[in-house]
Structure 1
Amino acid sequence: MASAPAPQKPKGWQLFKLALQTRKSATMLGFGFSSGLPFALLIGTLNAWLGEVKIDLATIGVLSWIGLTYSFKFLWSPLVDRLALPGLERLGRRKSWIALCQGVLVASFMGLAATDPTRSMGSFALFAFLGALASATQDVAIDAWRIDVADEQTSVELLTSIGQFSYRIASIVGGALALVMAGRMSWPLVYLLMAGLIALIIVVTLRAPDTPRVGQGALHAALSQPGELAPKARGLALLVVGVSWTWAIVTIVAFMVHMLRPLAPGAKHPSVAAFTRETGPWIVVATVAVPLLVSAVVNALKVRGRAVLVAPDDVHGPGRTALNHLYVALVSPLSELVGRLRWGVLVVIGMILTYPLCYNMWASFAFPFYLDFLHYSKDEVAFASKLFGIFMSMAGVGLGGFLFVRAGRMPTILLGVALPILGNFVYADLAEGGAMIDRVAHGVGLQALLGAFGFDDRMVRLLLTIGFENISTGIAGAAFVAYISTIVSRSYTAVQYALLSSLTFLIGSLGRGIAGEAFDLYGYATVFRYAAAAGGLAVVFVLLEWVRVSRLAAHHPPTPSSEEEGEVKR
């Protein structure tokens, strides 16, 4: 007897109707919006404002480093998980953090609205940083809430889909709508109105359900068993990793402050390119290489039975609880990954770091490029980038998921890393007038097709460029998310996924600083071509990973508890 076809997942307005049927799903609709709106306003739209008031691209590039808060959010996720907020805890375990972050977001948007970036860039950057920090922390709390409250009636899969749906709606509001509004009113008023939207979501937060705090017995039990690393050794490993991460964060923040503070007469800002070239590699060493090395040492000690517990450890207390949480957040996930992948972890981490090079580095400069360099209007950019572009991105994500299932994992990942390289050449052509884009558009009939809808040649160039970019990055993003999902262990699913996905922002975020200065010095077209060349490094790592998983599949049949579980299709 043939098996019944799998039920189709709800999409679009069908998903919206489902979201309103239960209190939890309706709340997730608000939480997804509250998560997506700050990201759109702080990482993308804010740069359109700065470009309009003639802030140089090097400064915009440095300010874009506020996006590193999303890369490092796993560092303080144990704090969000464990700490009861004085005075707010009565709201709920997760609601208290979400409401606090939303309050900070409202204040930061109001601060941005009250600050003139041409006169007080330091204060402006501080408000933007506080907003990004609150947004990243809110994401941690919302993700935890989504998992906590899920039940049979409102599954985590449904809540995730609802969150993604409302996140995309927020992207349109914080992108396209904000640009259209900015064409008709001042930027400060736009951000005040956006602060009002977040304030409305606070009402949803206060009425949301929540779950009680649970004991930490399982965490203590796992780390107190014989054979686990002794507390002093865990503390030393955590200290090394913590100092490395702290140094990297402090170094980046100190340079941002130096770059954004007012200059004395005749003084010059330090070179972003020099900082990235001289200090950037050490930041990568501190945030990636040192934790990997510590993880390898931890595994070696446990294998050899050195510095491990010989009897159950029954010591408890606030200090031990904090140590255990931080250790599980910062050391255990990488330790498990290194132990499972061994030397292959170098290829995996290299691929994760380089994969988004071609499409993650220049995102902060998109609006200055469209508005100030190419002189498109805000309405044109809003339509092309935030309406047409989002639909093309969704098409790319769907196509990426289809290819992942039908063509296999590694072919799709290779396509995902190759298409953005080509996309950079398309952008280079657009920067130089779009002659090649025009020839292709005329040759395949797209010029006539889009012209029938009233778009002139100039608008067609923008639509085709953004369409190609968003489809290619949609494929790349879908393939990459699926890839990371197959790499993580079931024992550390949430933490390893957060850690590995955070690494994807690291190189791109650091690179934005040097990209801004490079755009000023060499022009857009030249930098786009350099970015395409840098994407070749990602291709090399993808090919190495393809070889690794092919050999793994040939010599070791997949098992449910290991990485090979996801490597049958490759």
Structure 2
Amino acid sequence: MLAFGFSSGLPYALLIGTLNAWLGEVGVKLATIGVLSWIGLSYSFKFLWSPLVDRLPLPGLERLGRRKSWILLCQVVMVLGFAGLAVTDPATAIGTFALFAFLAALASATQDVAVDAWRIDVADETTPVELLSAIYQFGYRIASIVGGALALVLAARMSWSSVYLVMGAVIVVIALITLRAPDTPRPESAKLHQQLAEPGALSPAARTTALAVVGLAWAWAIGTIATFMVGMLAPASPDAPLPSVADFTKHYGPWIILATVGVPLVTAALTNWMRAHGKVVLTAPDEHHSAGRTVANHLYVALVSPLAELSARLGWGVLIVIGMILSYTLCYNIWSSFAFPFYLDFLKYSKDEVAFASKVFGIFMTMLGISLGGFLFARAGRMPTILIGAVLPILGNFVYADLAEGAPHIDAVGSLIGLKALFGVFGFDERMIRLLLAISFENVSTGVAGAAFVAYLSGIVSKSYTAVQYALLSSLTFLIGSLGRGIAGEAFDSYGYATVFRWTAAAGLVAVVFVLLEWMRVSREVRRSA
């Protein structure tokens, strides 16, 4: 589990954060970096192919195990992706570079699906899932240090290409551990989705129609994003002007959200209405079985059933829940991909300084924030902690805006509460102390927010759809933030860091409003139950 946690965390650190330090160093524009960060949407969309990972035996690899075979395949593809990045110059071939990055991100997201399933499958009384989950997080955090801090330290002493080759070699070592891992047998296909064949369930034709509507909406959204990325990263001619990320987000962003959230929600509500009113439902058990039916059932359970169950259970309250999920991490997810260009290129810190501050010291601050979030849950309660987790990152954005403008307020507060003197004891100069103080507040804030949000999502999902519903809802968490990175990169180029940090702080107020609405909804439910 430790190795699998490491294998999940390393590519995410290398592709979503460290890669941007490489791009910034070779002079790639922030707007282009923002668009390239859309490879992170692979993690947002991974639930789409999770049924495939769950059920499809891999020819030639299946004998290794139902989960191990997919994990090993993804690790091989990640190694090839890192090798492709190593032999490609992003300054002259950004399109090819983006293709290798997307390939590695796709393999990483798919590996996460298999690793999450493996963790649940192999858990037993000796190694319960809670223990495995804690060890997974430990491995993931170690990988964040290796893929962030160690990668930057190495990049200060060798080429970026060599760094990614070294990281590919680390994945090869993890693949050897994968071969020794245990696995569980594949269940019989006949036992799958029996409830879809029972009387009262929607007919196969109705399910196919609902699936087609949702599938087409998702396909259009993904195709639209992919087409724009290709146009941005590989223009038709060198002299052609690059398309505007701001215009794309303004004109297509709302439609993409509608296609990926609105259409599935409306479709789920309609399927609930038809079942409740006995429209186009089965009147007798459906005995028909086929490969096509099995695939359709898997996709239906991944795309339609989770939201159908959620909307049936919460009613109109599902709109508040989805709004909160979409906006909760917005104010720090939008700009997180630009942290390294901000530290290295704008503030002119060295790679060694950023490696220590962001990926060693910062990881411990994040763990402190997670611990604080758990403490607040026990002491203050669920909704107060979630509200605190929504407010703190907003303040963190103002801290970063102050850092971008020379840190006058950070200096004043640090001196007032004695932190400057404390850091000075360890030999840090005033400039480094500013960075450490900013990262301290930001990482503790996002640690609290992350702990609060994971606990909230874990509590809102149905135990009947735990895996697919959690995968879907957690994927939606990154949707708007990932789309917003494109416009954020262009805005950083146009308006500067401090201004954009304040804008993203204002965006965090949306999450606060939804948290307050959810608090009111939960309180009303408690009173009604009483």
Unaligned runs of 5+ in 2: none
Is 2:523 the partner of 1:555?
no
Shift of 1:535: 1.1
Q: Identity of paired residues, percent? A: 73
Correspondence for 2:498: 525
Give SS of 2:230's match.
helix
Say how many residue pairs are matched.
Answer: 530
Quick check: 1:224 aligned with 2:192? no
1:104-143 to 2 correspondences below 5 Å: 104-143=77-116
Distance between the aligned counterparts of 1:216 and 1:222, measured in 2? 14
Give the alignment of 1:48-87 within 5 angstroms.
48-87=21-60
Deviations 1:330-373 (A, max 9, x none): 11111000000000000010011011111111111000000000
Q: 1:270 aligns with which of 222, 238, 243?
A: 243
Q: Counterpart of 1:17?
A: none
Correspondence 1:459 to 2:432: yes
Deviation at 1:217, TM superposition (A): 3.1
Counterpart CA distance in 2 for 1:324 and 1:179 is 46
After superposition, the C-alpha distances for 1:71-120 in whole angstroms (9 at most, x for unaligned) are 00000000001111112112211111111100000000000000000010
Q: Does 1:388 align with 2:361?
A: yes
CA RMSD in angstroms comes to 0.9
Query: In structure 2, what is the equivalent of residue 362 of structure 1?
Result: 335
Query: What does the per-residue CA deviation read over 1:42-94, in whole Å, with 9 as the maximum and x for residues that have no partner?
Result: 00000000011111000000000000000000000000011111121122111
Equivalent in the alignment of 1:97? 70
How does the TM-score come out when normalised to structure 2?
0.99
Q: Which residue of 2 is the match for residue 478 of structure 1?
A: 451
Question: What is aligned with 2:254?
Answer: 281
Contact 1:45 1:179 in 2 (8 A): yes
Counterpart of 2:304 in structure 1 is 331
The one-letter code matched in structure 2 to 1:336 is E
1:544 aligns with 2:517: yes
SS in 2 for 1:78: helix
Q: Matches of 2:69 and 2:41 in 1, distance apart? A: 24
* Per-residue deviation, residues 96-148 of structure 1 (Å, max 9, x unmatched): 11111000000000000000000100000000000000000001011111111
Does the CA contact (< 8 Å) of 1:49 and 1:187 recur in 2?
yes
Q: How is 1:339-358 mapped onto 2 (pairs within 5 angstroms)?
A: 339-358=312-331
SS in 2 for 1:376: coil
Structure 2: how far apart are the matches of 1:454 and 1:498? Answer: 45
**Matching of residue 534 in structure 1 with residue 510 in structure 2:** no
Question: 2: CA distance between counterparts of 1:256 and 1:141?
Answer: 28
Q: Given residue 483 of structure 1, which amino acid in structure 2 is its aligned partner? A: Y
Between the aligned partners of 2:483 and 2:513, the Cα distance in structure 1 is 21
Residue range with higher mean Cα deviation, 218-227 or 64-73 = 218-227
CA distance in 1, matches of 2:248, 2:394: 26
Write the distance in 1 (CA, Å) between the matches of 2:495 and 2:222: 29
Counterpart of 2:423 in structure 1 is 450
| Alignment correspondent of 2:347 | 374
CA distance in structure 2 between the partners assigned to 1:263 and 1:300 by the alignment:
48
Q: Is contact 2:66–2:185 with CA below 8 Å preserved after alignment? A: yes
Partner of 1:568: none
Contact 1:428 1:529 in 2 (8 A): yes
Instruction: Tell me the equivalent position of 1:172.
Output: 145
- 1:433–1:263: structure 2 CA closer, same or farther, 3 Å change rule? farther
CA distance in structure 1 between the aligned counterparts of 2:512 and 2:301, rounded to whole angstroms? 32
**Amino acid of the structure 1 residue aligned with 2:517:** L
SS in 2 for 1:87: coil
Q: CA deviation at 1:218?
A: 3.3
Q: Which residue of 2 aligns with 1:439?
A: 412
**Alignment partners' CA distance in 2, 1:363 and 1:103:** 28
Shift of 1:150: 1.4
CA deviations on 1:217-268 (whole Å, 9 max, x unpaired) are 3324211110000000000000001000111011111111110004524311
Q: Equivalents in 2 of 1:36, 1:58: separation in Å? A: 26
Distance 2:248 2:455 in 1: 34
The answer as to whether partners of 1:33 and 1:166 remain within 8 angstroms in 2 is: yes
3-state SS, counterpart of residue 49 of structure 2: helix
Q: Is the 8 A contact 1:125 1:260 kept in 2?
A: yes
Aligned to 1:44: 17
Q: Distance in 2 between matches of 1:383 and 1:437?
A: 19
Q: Structure 1 unaligned runs (5+)?
A: 1-27, 558-570
Is 1:206 the equivalent of 2:179? yes
Which shifted more, 75-84 or 261-270? Answer: 261-270
**Equivalents in 1 of 2:266, 2:217: separation in Å?**
12
Aligned AA for 1:204? Answer: I
Q: Structure 1: how far apart are the matches of 2:192 and 2:519? A: 36
Specify the alignment match of 1:14 in structure 2.
none
How do 1:182-197 and structure 2 match up within 5 A? 182-197=155-170
Query: Counterpart of 2:330 in structure 1: which amino acid?
Result: L
1:238 corresponds to which of 202, 211, 219: 211
- The question of whether the paired residues in 2 share the 8 Å contact of 1:356 and 1:508 is answered with yes
Matches of 2:194 and 2:243, distance apart in 1: 51
Contact 1:263 1:269 in 2 (8 A): no
Point out the more displaced range, 442-451 or 376-385.
442-451
Structure 1, residues 200-225: CA drift from partner, whole Å, max 9, x if none?
11111112111121113332421111
Instruction: Show the counterpart of 1:403.
Output: 376
TM-score by length of 1: 0.92
SS class of match (1:279)? helix
| Residue identity matched to 1:321 | T
What is residue 270 of structure 2 aligned with on the other side? 297
Query: Is the contact made by 1:109 and 1:127 (CA closer than 8 Å) also made in structure 2?
Result: yes
Moved over 3 A (4+): none
Name the structure 1 match of 2:129. 156
Task: Please give the alpha-carbon distance, in whole angstroms, between the structure 2 residues aligned to 1:39 and 1:160.
Answer: 18
Among 483, 486, 490, which residue is 1:513 paired with?
486
Q: Is this contact kept in 2: 1:104–1:130, CA < 8 A?
A: yes
Q: Are positions 1:425 and 2:398 aligned together? A: yes
Paired AA for residue 84 in structure 1: P
2:489 equivalent to 1:489: no
* 1:137-186 CA-partner distances (Å, limit 9, x unpaired): 00101111111111222221221111111111111000000000101111
